[in-house]
């Protein structure tokens, strides 16, 4: 069974420590949600797991199916089965979405076993249809000139085509209207399987109305400070974060991240 | 998982055949050689005079004191004329087998089968193979090697030859005018639209031999032609010189597109003068790719002479180890309501130097004209450099000029994004570079786009890390 | 081509003059060295400008002036520029000599120095000796050699380490006599973590004053310092202006240039920043209006040596009548200057069919780990904007003026002194034919 295991992870950005010993274990078939106010280190966790060059891991251990993730290059992590749907996906002029997708699929296949063009197009088109994406987007340049919502759908499209073992969704709900949110959530739900783990990072509980998590964690000061089931998300939605802070005696929940 | 990078020291098309030339002029340039060239070619008196005057001009003019470093070029050490065989092959079967084998490796026959209206393949200094589709011939299109055109169409030839680029234009135009040999002559009659590209291949294959092809294209009123020129050359230990002159005349309402992809061997000095004149409402488009050579100095120019004329120059330059690409574009707005667009994409890597040098000039009579210039440069490693030197000369108040340029390395964010989807750093970098030059490749005929991508891929392999 | 330069003063005369005004020996020696160079060096190469045909050969005669005891009897043009009472510091050069110097007691008490450069060479010998001619070297070309040999008057402004001066220091250079030597040298030395604002105004009293202004501004910005230099030139149609401004910036230091080129005569200026230190920053803003038959060349340059250094250059010019301007921007990033950012913009508004405006934005990059960019545009007043303003009832000419003024305003509004800012605004109006 797929397991992502994070132990006492510490990470710095531009010399500032943002993650201060975060521990979390996620198994295949589970959906974990990490919630928390701005500036508590949620997105840093996502970027550090994926291996963004600006995020320096200073201590701790992360394994994906007992393989040391932190030893791997970014592309090796991806080929090992990790997928991060990013909050701000890069725009790359001149590279069409479909060329990019095909390269990404083939990158995880053996030489000589590349996906056939016909099969690729068929799969891409059917997934795009499911995400209600205009087929024209296959031929547009990667994320260039895409609206916020279009970029998010494109991230989900990549997730569906790459079929990763483990998915992190970083603020995938930000900037989405209610219809887009439903479509994106449907995409994620379609991908739910006993072999696949999910980590959903979000400010708001509204995404969790569409994707029901098994576990909800609250992040403050670069750590997980409280965990519970879906009911925790509902309470946070209704009452905000102040009660958590009060309960734990936290006055400033941020880690000095610029908001 | 990363692909094995090939040894960059081995130039892809650097094979060399054992073909023996019939006449070789020996090294150095004397008046006797010019006489001899003209005599062998059985040229009219006026052409000999033209050559001799140009030779004087060449002796008189100093080497350019700007641009690339030409100190490694010894003009006395160049062979100025080589003629590979006595007569031209009319069909592919008649072409000598060794030469044919060389072309086979370059993929010319396939290209012809699929796409091309005609092939005028220049082997060394002389055009040796030439064919053309019947339809074009019937429409009165002339597509000949320049030497034959001088014999067959002396009047139209004399009328235009040397009018756009006179010998005194620059030292290398003077040199070319003195010793030119081969090149293409294209004449498109009034109103004729050539739907498929016309193509010529050039190739240097004799040590220290200069190649001085001379191309002249005349597009009559309302006509259209797309001329495609591709170049590859074998590798040699000492320097060779390529110094072509290309003159294009776009009559009223005509449109000419001239596409070049040059992939000279890394020891060649490539010093080309290419210029077009666009008359009223005519359109001239240069699509210019410079990949190989030791030194390239090349600034495709359009003189917008008639009202409403349009010029566009789309170029890429890639400079690798020990290479200097000094390339750019010139547009001269001489008439009202003329427009020009320049898009330049430069890449330097492994210690290469790539420069954009350009001019956009607006005369007193250019009211209502516009120019849009965009130059972008990618520097791939910390050994490589790039200069952007654009001149914008404005002598009219009713014009608009927009100029933008950027220089950067491959974006870390973009690399991270692609790698997070499983692409290796090399593949991700290559993808970003291909995207960077896509505005160029998308303008190429499909065959060339494929070839271009292959060349870039080849250039990129082994460039990372 | 041009006539051979004739030095009105030979080495002996230079010695006599230098000793008469009591200059230290080392300074005289530097002047003599420069004079020797002047005889051997070529004129500077200014892109697309035939400097050899300009009136740049006559250095002019040194003209001694009596010091002013107060500003009460100062010419109107000077009084109009000065806020009374002077808050920070003020120095006035009249033709060849500095005639008035004033520095607030509190600044003097903090160790700030403001004097003419002759006095500084005597009283602050070590400092001046260390910095003079180090940014703009006498051996660069004939005009820098001539300046180095013959400068007179000038300004020395020194701010000690850690001293932050909020009130601007002002300088005025006034020329009212044809043929006099008008070659001030401004030397600004800002210590580590100091802060200083300097504003000068270079002006001819009438449009027929015929002289050569061969001026140099040298700025040394220490580590972590912030130096702002604002300068307005308003010289006569008959006067030729050749000015070199150059700053050397150490680690985390910042230099800001705000330049108003409002001369009526031939002008060649070069404003250059050498970003020596890691994390150093420069910001250069130039506005220019070309009128009459004026020819001019405005060059801005940023040269990056330090890692993570940042430069920004903006030149905006409005060309009228038969004026011609060649605008060059040069961003040079040296090898090893990683993580640099160099950006430049040149914009030219062409308002007359006989004007000429060239914009040459040049990037010279020897390092890969950088971002650099430029943009240039040349065109007319934006028709959409005119339409919009006219739709609100504004006349065409008023609308055009508003748009042109808006084009220049971002630089005008940055001038730190009210009096100079107001003057620049008036100058813009008068050059645009509105007063």
Closest-CA residue of chain A to B438: A94
Residues of chain C in Cβ contact (below 8 Å) with chain B = 48, 319, 335, 338, 348, 350-380
User: What's A3-94+163-248's CATH class?
Assistant: alpha beta
| Mutation target vs A (from B3, B419, B438; most A CBs, 10 A cutoff) | B419
DSSP B448: H
DSSP state of B211: B
Which residue has 């001899």 as its token pair? B36
**pLDDT score, position A1:** 78
Cβ–Cβ under 8 Å, residues B257 and B228: no
* Contacting residues of C for B407, CB less than 8 Å apart: 363, 365, 370-373
Cα end-to-end distance, chain A, whole Å:
37
Whole-angstrom distance, CA of residue B171 vs CA of residue B177: 10
What Rg, from alpha-carbon coordinates, does chain B have? 22
Q: Which residues, numbered 367 to 406 in chain B, qualify as contacts with chain C under a Cβ-Cβ cut-off of 8 Å?
A: 367, 377, 379-382, 384-406
| Among B398, B372, B403, B340, CA closest to C354 | B398
pLDDT greater than 90 at residue B280: yes
Helices B45-60 and B171-179 pack at an angle, to 10 degrees, of 150
Q: E strand or H helix at C181, and its extent?
A: none
pLDDT in tens, C24-48: 999 999 999 999 999 899 999 998 8
How does pLDDT run across B191-224, given as a tens digit for each residue?
A: 999 887 887 655 444 443 458 889 999 999 999 9
When mean pLDDT is compared across A34-43, B77-86, C137-146, the lowest value belongs to B77-86
Residue B13's pLDDT band, with cuts at 50, 70 and 90, is: very low
- Touching check for A89 and chain B: CB below 8 Å? yes
| Cα–Cα dist C116/B66, whole Å | 43
* Under 8 Å between Cβ of B51 and B178: yes
C-contacting chains (≥3 CB pairs under 8 Å): B
B367: closest chain C residue by CA: C353
Of C64, C78, C56, nearest in space to C211 by CA: C56
DSSP letter string over B286-312?
Answer: EEEEE---SEEEE--EEEE-STT-EEE
| DSSP bridge pairs for A215 | A32
pLDDT of residue B117: 32
Please give the pLDDT value at position B137: 81
In angstroms, what CA-CA distances link B419 with A78, B282, B429, B435?
A: 7, 46, 9, 16
> What is residue B12's predicted lDDT score, i.e. its pLDDT?
47
Strands B142-145 and B184-188: antiparallel
d(CA B243, CA B29): 14
Q: Would you kindly state where each structural domain of chain B is located, as residue ranges?
A: 23-298, 411-465
Average pLDDT over residues C132-160: 96
Q: What is the DSSP string of chain A?
A: --EEEEEEEEEEETTEEEEEEEEEEEETT-EEEEE--TTSSHHHHHHHHHT-TTEEEEEEEEEETTEEGGGS-HHHHHHTTEEEE-SSPPP-TT-BHHHHHHHHHHHTS-TT-PPPHHHHHHHHHHHHHHTT--GGGGTSBTTTT--HHHHHHHHHHHHHHH--SEEEEESTTTT--HHHHHHHHHHHHHH--TT-EEEEEES-SGGGGTS--SEEEEEETTEEEEEE-HHHHHHHHHH-SHHHHHHHT-S----S---
Q: Report the alpha-carbon distance of residue C364 to residue A188 in Å, rounded.
A: 49
CA distance C212 to C61: 11
Interior angle at CA C138, CA C132 and CA C142, nearest 5: 150
pLDDT tens per residue across span C163-200: 999 999 999 999 999 999 999 999 999 999 999 999 99
Asked if B459 contacts B437 with a C-beta cutoff of 8 angstroms, the reply is no
- Its pTM stands at 0.81
* Mean confidence (pLDDT) of chain C: 91
Min CA distance, B380 vs chain A (Å)? 17
- Which has more confidence, C7 or B256? B256
């Amino acid at each position: 069974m797929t397991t992502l295991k994070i132990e006492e992870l510490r990470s710095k950005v531009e010399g500032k420590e943002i993650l201060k010993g975060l521990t979390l274990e996620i198994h295949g078939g589970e959906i974990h949600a990490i919630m928390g106010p701005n500036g508590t280190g949620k997105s840093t966790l996502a970027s550090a797991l994926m291996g963004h060059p600006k995020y320096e891991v200073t201590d701790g251990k992360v394994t994906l199916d007992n393989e040391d993730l932190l030893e791997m290059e970014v592309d090796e992590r991806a080929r090992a089965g990790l997928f991060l749907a990013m909050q701000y996906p890069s725009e790359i002029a001149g590279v069409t979405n479909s060329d990019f997708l095909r390269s990404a699929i083939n990158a995880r296949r053996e030489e000589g076993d590349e996906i056939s063009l016909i099969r690729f197009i068929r799969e891409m088109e059917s997934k795009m249809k499911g995400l209600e994406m205009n087929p024209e987007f296959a031929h547009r340049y990667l994320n260039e000139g895409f609206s916020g919502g279009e970029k998010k759908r494109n991230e989900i499209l990549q997730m569906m085509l790459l079929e990763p073992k483990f998915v992190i969704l970083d603020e995938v709900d930000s900037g989405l209207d209610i219809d887009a949110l439903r479509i994106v959530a449907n995409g994620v739900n379609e991908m739910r399987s006993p072999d696949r783990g999910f980590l959903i990072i979000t400010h708001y509980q509204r995404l969790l109305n569409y994707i029901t998590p098994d576990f909800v964690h609250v992040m403050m000061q670069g750590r997980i400070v409280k965990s519970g089931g879906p009911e925790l998300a509902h309470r946070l939605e209704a009452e905000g974060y102040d009660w958590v802070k009060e309960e734990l005696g936290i006055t400033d929940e941020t880690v000095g991240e610029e908001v | 998982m990363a692909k094995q990078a090939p040894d960059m020291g081995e130039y892809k098309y650097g094979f060399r055949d054992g073909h023996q030339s019939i006449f070789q002029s020996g090294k150095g340039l004397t008046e006797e050689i010019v006489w001899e060239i003209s005599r062998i070619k059985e040229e009219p008196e006026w052409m000999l005079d033209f050559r001799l005057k140009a030779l004087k001009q060449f002796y008189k003019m100093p080497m350019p004191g700007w641009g690339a470093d030409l100190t490694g070029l010894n003009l006395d050490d160049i062979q100025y004329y080589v003629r590979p065989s006595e007569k031209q092959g009319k069909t592919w079967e008649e072409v000598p087998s060794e030469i044919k084998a060389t072309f086979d490796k370059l993929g010319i026959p396939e290209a012809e089968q699929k796409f091309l209206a005609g092939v005028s393949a220049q082997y060394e200094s002389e055009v040796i193979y030439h064919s053309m589709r019947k339809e074009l011939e019937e429409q009165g299109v002339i597509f000949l090697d320049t030497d034959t055109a001088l014999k067959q169409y002396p009047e139209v030839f004399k009328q235009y030859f040397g009018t756009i680029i006179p010998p005194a234009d620059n030292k290398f135009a003077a040199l070319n005018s003195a010793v030119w040999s081969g090149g293409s002559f294209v004449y498109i009659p009034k109103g004729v639209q050539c739907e498929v590209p016309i193509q010529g291949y050039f190739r240097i294959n004799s040590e220290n031999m200069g190649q001085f092809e001379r191309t002249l294209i005349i597009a009559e009123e309302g006509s259209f032609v797309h001329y495609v020129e591709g170049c590859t050359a074998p590798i040699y230990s000492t320097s060779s010189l390529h110094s072509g002159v290309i003159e294009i005349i776009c009559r009223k309402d005509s449109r000419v597109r001239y596409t070049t992809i040059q992939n000279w061997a890394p020891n060649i000095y490539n010093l080309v003068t290419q210029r077009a004149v666009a008359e009223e409402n005519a359109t001239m488009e240069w699509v210019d790719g410079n990949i190989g050579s030791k030194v390239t100095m090349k600034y495709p120019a359009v003189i917008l002479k008639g009202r409403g004329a349009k010029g566009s120059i789309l170029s890429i330059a890639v400079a690798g180890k020990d290479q200097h690409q000094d390339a750019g574009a010139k547009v001269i707005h001489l008439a009202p309501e003329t427009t020009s667009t320049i898009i330049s994409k430069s890449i330097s890597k492994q210690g290469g130097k790539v420069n954009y040098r350009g001019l956009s000039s607006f005369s007193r009579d250019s009211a209502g004209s516009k120019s849009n210039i965009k130059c972008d440069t990618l520097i791939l490693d910390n050994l490589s450099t790039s200069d952007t030197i654009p001149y914008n000369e404005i002598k009219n108040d009713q014009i608009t000029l927009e100029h933008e340029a950027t220089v950067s390395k491959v974006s870390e964010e973009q690399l991270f994004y692609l790698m997070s989807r499983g692409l290796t750093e090399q593949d991700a970098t290559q993808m970003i570079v291909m995207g960077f030059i896509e505005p160029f490749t998308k303008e190429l005929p499909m065959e060339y786009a494929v070839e271009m991508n292959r060349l870039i891929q080849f250039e990129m392999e082994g460039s990372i890390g | 081509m041009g006539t051979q330069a004739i030095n009105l003063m030979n080495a002996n005369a230079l010695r006599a003059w230098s000793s008469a005004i009591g200059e230290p020996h080392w300074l005289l020696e530097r002047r003599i060295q420069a004079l020797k160079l002047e005889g051997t060096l070529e004129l500077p190469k200014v892109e697309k400008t035939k400097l050899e045909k300009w009136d740049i050969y006559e250095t002019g005669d040194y003209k001694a002036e009596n010091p002013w005891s107060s500003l009460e009897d100062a010419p109107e043009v000077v009084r109009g520029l000065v806020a009374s009472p002077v808050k920070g510091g003020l120095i006035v050069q009249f033709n060849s000599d500095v005639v008035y110097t004033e520095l607030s007691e509190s600044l003097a008490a903090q160790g700030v120095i403001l004097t003419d450069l002759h006095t500084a060479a005597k009283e602050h010998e070590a400092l001046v000796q260390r910095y003079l001619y180090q940014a703009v070297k006498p051996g660069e070309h004939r005009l820098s050699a001539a300046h180095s040999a013959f400068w007179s008057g000038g300004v020395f402004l020194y701010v000690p380490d850690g001293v932050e001066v909020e009130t601007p220091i002002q300088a005025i250079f006034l020329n009212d006599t044809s043929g006099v030597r008008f070659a001030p040298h401004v030397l600004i030395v800002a210590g580590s973590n100091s802060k200083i604002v300097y504003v000068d105004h270079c002006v001819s009293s009438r449009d027929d004053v015929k002289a050569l202004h061969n001026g140099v501004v040298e700025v040394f910005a220490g580590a972590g310092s912030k130096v702002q230099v604002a300068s307005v030139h308003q010289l006569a149609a008959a006067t030729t202006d050749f000015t070199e401004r150059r700053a050397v910036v150490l680690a985390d230091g910042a230099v800001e240039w705000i330049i108003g080129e409002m001369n009526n005569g031939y002008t060649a200026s070069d404003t250059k920043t050498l970003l020596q230190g890691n994390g150093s920053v420069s910001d250069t803003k130039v506005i220019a209006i070309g009128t009459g038959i004026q020819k001019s060349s405005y060059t801005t340059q940023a040269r990056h040596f330090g890692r993570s250094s940042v430069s920004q250059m903006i030149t905006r010019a409005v060309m009228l009548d038969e004026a011609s301007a060649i605008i060059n921007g040069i961003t040079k990033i040296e090898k090893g200057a990683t993580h640099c950012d160099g950006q430049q913009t040149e914009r030219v508004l062409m308002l007359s069919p006989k004007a000429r405006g060239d914009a040459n934005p040049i990037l010279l990059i020897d390092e890969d780990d950088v971002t650099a960019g430029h943009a240039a545009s040349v065109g007319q007043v934006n028709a959409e904007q005119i339409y919009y303003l006219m739709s609100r009832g504004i006349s065409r000419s008023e609308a055009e003026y508003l748009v042109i003024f808006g084009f220049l305003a971002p630089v005008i509004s940055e001038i730190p002194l009210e009096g100079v800012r107001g003057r620049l605004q008036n100058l813009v109006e008068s050059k645009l034919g509105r007063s």
